[in-house]
Amino acid sequence: MTQRGRATRSTGPAGRPRRSDGPRGTDRSGAPRGDLAARRNRLREVIEPVVTAAGYDLEDLSVSRAGRRHVVRVIVDADGGINLDAVADVSRAVSAALDAAEEAGGDIVAGEYQLEVSSPGVDRPLTLPRHWRRNAGRLVKVTVRGDAGDRQLTGRITAADDERVVLETDAGPAEHPYAELGPGRVQVEFNRLDDLADEDFGDDTDDDEDLEDEER
């Protein structure tokens, strides 16, 4: 099972002011400064091709205000997950692309901003086929829609393709097309974490004893 912890890198010209040559209350594209949705769309036009060219999927992009600055958050993922080094590489590429876009005449962010690039956390809802596929082996809870009403289902993902997912439940395997499912939620399994911790502790203990023997 792939480990998918969050890996975050903050970068970008956070302290460099951006010019604005448009009318008062607008940026150079003519869009209202407060229109974060329009700003997010312009950012996506710049960022998504960079992420795709690097071999990853752009899972989410958001823009928010933090005092006088904008915070641009980019979530990227790939089959097999994405590690810290890859996050750093994508972050540098995205930052360079934003600088180039602004130098070419587009006031993409308008003002100071901070760029944060990260991988998805386990709290990310499973809404696309690739989300289900990349979480194969994990326990999930999901709402199943039906003629008799909605019901909650908990099961382990055993297979997933572009059309449907198979969950191993207490009642046996259950196959559902994605159209019947709401967003899936990965369940944290503390017993598995305990087993992993015990194994790691056992290995560390052996290493410590070997070190003590060497010191003696």
Identify the band that residue 190 occupies on the pLDDT scale cut at 50, 70 and 90.
confident
pLDDT number for residue 192 = 58
What mean pLDDT do residues 126-149 have?
94
Nearest 5 degrees, angle CA 34-CA 124-CA 171?
A: 145
pLDDT number for residue 139 = 96
Domains located in the chain, CATH noted: 8-118 (3.30.300.70), 124-216 (2.30.30.520)
Instruction: Say whether pLDDT at 36 is over 60.
Output: yes
What mean pLDDT do residues 170-193 have?
89
Other Cβ atoms within 10 Å of 96 Cβ, number: 12
- Per-residue model confidence as pLDDT tens digits over 116-136: 999 998 888 999 999 999 999
Instruction: Say whether pLDDT at 59 is over 70.
Output: yes
196 backbone dihedrals φ, ψ, rounded to 5° = -65, -40
- Per-residue model confidence as pLDDT tens digits over 18-32: 333 333 344 433 444
- Looking at per-residue pLDDT, the higher value among 62 and 13 belongs to 62
Identify the band that residue 16 occupies on the pLDDT scale cut at 50, 70 and 90.
very low
Buried b (16+ CB within 10 A) or exposed e, 30-46: ebebeebebbbebbeeb
